[in-house]
Amino acid sequence: MIWSNLDSVYFIGAGGIGMSALARYFVSQGKEVSGYDRVSTSLTDALTREGVSIHFDDYEELIPAAFRNPDRTLVIYTPAVPDNNSQLNYFRRRGFRLIKRSVALGEVFNTGRGIGVAGTHGKTSISTMLAHILHRSNLGCNAFLGGISKNTSSNLYLDPVSKVIVAEADEYDRSFLTLFPEIAVVSSMDADHLDIYHTEENIRKGFESYISQIREKGILIYKYGLNPLVPDHVEQYTYSLDDPQADFHARNLQRCGLGYKFTVVTPHSVMPEIELSIPGLLNVENSLAAVAVSHQLGIAPEVIVKALLDYRGVERRFDVQVQRSDRIYIDDYAHHPQEIKAFLNSLKALFPHKRLTGIFQPHLFTRTRDFADEFARSLEMLDELILMEIYPAREEPIPGVTAGMLLEKVNLKEKVLVSGEQLLRVVKERDPELLVTMGAGDINQFVAPLKEWFLRI
């Protein structure tokens, strides 16, 4: 590996969900780890407690002395970091080895029995479920997750003995093309990241390029109906929530609290009844992908059933914050029209008679521009919409692309646009019985105060 002779690793964008998992990995390998991010978050706080020194001002003077030797330090950066970042340019000028996060992940992933989970949505839940099952089995695993597992309070699983490596195969910036999996999962290929791919056809081709990198005699597991182009050397299986033509599908689905009980039909057998305590039909479907991979790895059905029984989910994925007879509050990462639609459909199946109030923070100007009509149709599934301003992340504003523009397209009687400063007051005035927060920006900072208010009333 390119870092075998290195003492230290420096992260530019250390607090990102993918970057922080790698930072934790390098700490486990005995490397000295430091880095920079724009803002302090719960993730950067956790990394600091684990021995990673992080600062939040973009000054090259803040780079510690131990990370200034180009022969002993690897620099990893995220493509979200702007090109004019002073620390990035400091390392460039001095000839440091700089690699993107995806390249570093590929360096680790490709040395083991790599299982890559791809999809414009669903990959975090599937990969976390799968990592949990593997962790409970004799195989064990190392896993790099795009969310925080509620079973471990981490986005990294470590097992120094296991050769199995689970990783999310991220389509953004074509990052997944650094991965050459033994087993690949594809959950969805919806249009997204059109700033990168430009057309839906191109994103599909991107996923098919990823699929073409599956190792000889490898396996592809994909959602029934996607029908990607699959090379001859790859064995393929499908999964579906309810379509009996899929190789893996659910049968005898029934409610169990907020979760579900069901059996899984495999190509050659019917597995014992699975009980999934986390809510949402979308999570039942995600579990089928995890079960399919586990089945191909030879994990015993009873191990899979037991693991899913105590699986607690992922933070910000159908994350139940308050559950009372009169008040329910659920937080979710949904930031794409299809994700919102799937999330709200699952909610309506659980609570068909409750009035549904949703807070949504659009993520990225380009995504809002490219899918404004689709966002509007998905948000019309709500009874009441509280819309926040667009979270720009790495982007500069685009003329005419605003939250107000999106609000005008939403055909709802009850809708309002609010700033972050107004949000709590507006929620209290509306006094919702079923509230959801949705978005991939900094909307998560409002989850704790909203939960606190719900628990007080």
| pLDDT tens-digit map of 69-123 | 999 999 999 988 888 999 999 999 999 999 999 999 999 999 999 999 999 989 9
In this prediction, residue 5 carries a pLDDT of 79
Domain spanning 319-456, CATH architecture: Alpha-Beta Complex (3.90)
Read off the pLDDT of each residue in 263-272 and give the average, rounded to a whole number.
94
Torsions phi, psi of 391, nearest 5? -85, 115
Q: Which residues contact 132 (CB under 8 A, 6 or more apart)?
A: 149, 151, 307, 308, 311
Q: Return the number of other C-beta atoms located less than 10 Å from residue 188's C-beta.
A: 20
In this prediction, residue 197 carries a pLDDT of 80
Pairwise CA distance, residues 344 & 357, whole Å: 11
Question: What does the CA dihedral 217, 223, 227, 232 come to, rounded to 10 degrees?
Answer: 0
pLDDT at 327 over 70: yes
pTM exceeds cut of 0.85:
yes
In the chain, where are the structural domains located? 8-99, 110-309, 319-456
In this prediction, residue 325 carries a pLDDT of 85
Read off the pLDDT of each residue in 227-232 and give the average, rounded to a whole number.
95
In this prediction, residue 2 carries a pLDDT of 61
Percent of the chain with pLDDT over 70: 99
> Which residues lie across from 451 on neighbouring strands?
none
Question: What does the CA dihedral 202, 206, 209, 211 come to, rounded to 10 degrees?
Answer: -120
The token duo for 71 is: 């022969």
Q: Which residues contact 145 (CB under 8 A, 6 or more apart)?
A: 17, 21, 124, 127, 128, 131, 155, 156, 157, 166, 168, 314
Read off the pLDDT of each residue in 237-241 and give the average, rounded to a whole number.
97
Q: Is 239 helix (H, G, I), strand (E, B) or coil?
A: strand
Read off the pLDDT of each residue in 259-268 and give the average, rounded to a whole number.
96
Pairwise CA distance, residues 315 & 27, whole Å: 23
For residues 173 and 33, which has the higher predicted lDDT (pLDDT)? 33
Pairwise CA distance, residues 125 & 419, whole Å: 30
Residues 256/241, Cβ–Cβ less than 8 Å: no
Pairwise CA distance, residues 418 & 407, whole Å: 11
- Greatest alpha-carbon pair distance for the chain in Å reads 63
Residues 179/173, Cβ–Cβ less than 8 Å: no
| pLDDT tens-digit map of 49-59 | 999 999 999 99
pLDDT at 416 over 80: yes
In 68-218, DSSP assigns E strands to: 73-77, 97-100, 113-118, 142-149, 154-157, 164-169, 183-186
Sequence length of the chain is 457
Going by the DSSP 8-state scheme, the letter that residue 37 receives in this structure is: -
Q: Which residues contact 445 (CB under 8 A, 6 or more apart)?
A: none
pLDDT at 394 over 90: no
Going by the DSSP 8-state scheme, the letter that residue 14 receives in this structure is: T
CATH class of 8-99: alpha beta
In this prediction, residue 336 carries a pLDDT of 92
Residues 438/356, Cβ–Cβ less than 8 Å: no
Q: Tell me if domain 110-309 and domain 319-456 are identical in fold.
A: no
Q: Return the number of other C-beta atoms located less than 10 Å from residue 451's C-beta.
A: 16
Residue 1 pLDDT grade (very low, low, confident, very high; cuts 50, 70, 90): low
The token duo for 28 is: 């486990």
Q: Is 172 helix (H, G, I), strand (E, B) or coil?
A: helix
Give me the helix-helix angle, 337-350 and 281-296, nearest 10°. 110
Q: How many CA atoms, within 13 angstroms, populate the side-chain half-sphere of residue 63? A: 22
The token duo for 193 is: 């990241």
| pLDDT tens-digit map of 184-196 | 999 999 878 777 7
Please state, in angstroms and as integers, the Cα–Cα distance from residue 165 to each residue in 100, 133, 145, 272, following that order: 19, 13, 11, 27
Q: Which residues contact 38 (CB under 8 A, 6 or more apart)?
A: 15, 56, 58
Pairwise CA distance, residues 356 & 414, whole Å: 11
Q: Which residues contact 341 (CB under 8 A, 6 or more apart)?
A: 378, 381
The token duo for 87 is: 């620390």
Pairwise CA distance, residues 114 & 131, whole Å: 12
Read off the pLDDT of each residue in 20-40 and give the average, rounded to a whole number.
95
Q: Is 182 helix (H, G, I), strand (E, B) or coil?
A: coil
CATH class of 110-309: alpha beta
CA nearest neighbour of 131 among 119, 115, 120, 113? 115
Phi-psi region of 19 (alpha: psi -120 to 50; beta: other; left: phi over 0): alpha
